Amino acid sequence: MSKRKKQSDGALAGKVALVTGGASGIGRATVRAFADAGAAVAVMDLDERGGEAVAREIVERGGRALFMAGDVSSAEDCRLTVERTVKALGGLDILFNNAGIIRRASVLELSEKDWDRVMAVNVKSVYLMSKYAIPVMEQAGGGVIINTSSGWGLVGGRRAASYCASKGAVALLTKAMALDHGERNIRVNCICPGDTDTPMLRQEAEQLGEPIEEFLAEGAKRPLGRIAQPEDIAQAALYLASDAASAVTGISLVVDGGGLAGSG
What are the catalytic residues? 163
Whether the Cβ atoms of residue 20 and residue 97 lie closer than 8 Å to each other? yes
211-226 in b/e burial notation, b at 16+ Cβ within 10 A?
A: eeeebbeebeebeeee
User: Is residue 193 classed as helix, strand or coil in its secondary structure?
Assistant: strand
Whether the Cβ atoms of residue 103 and residue 114 lie closer than 8 Å to each other? yes
Among candidates 126, 136, 115, 119, which has minimal Cα distance to 78? 126
> CA-CA distance, 32 to 23, in Å (whole number)?
11
Provide the sign of the torsion angle of the four alpha carbons 169, 72, 25, 88, taken in this order.
Answer: positive
Provide the sign of the torsion angle of the four alpha carbons 114, 157, 74, 63, taken in this order.
Answer: positive
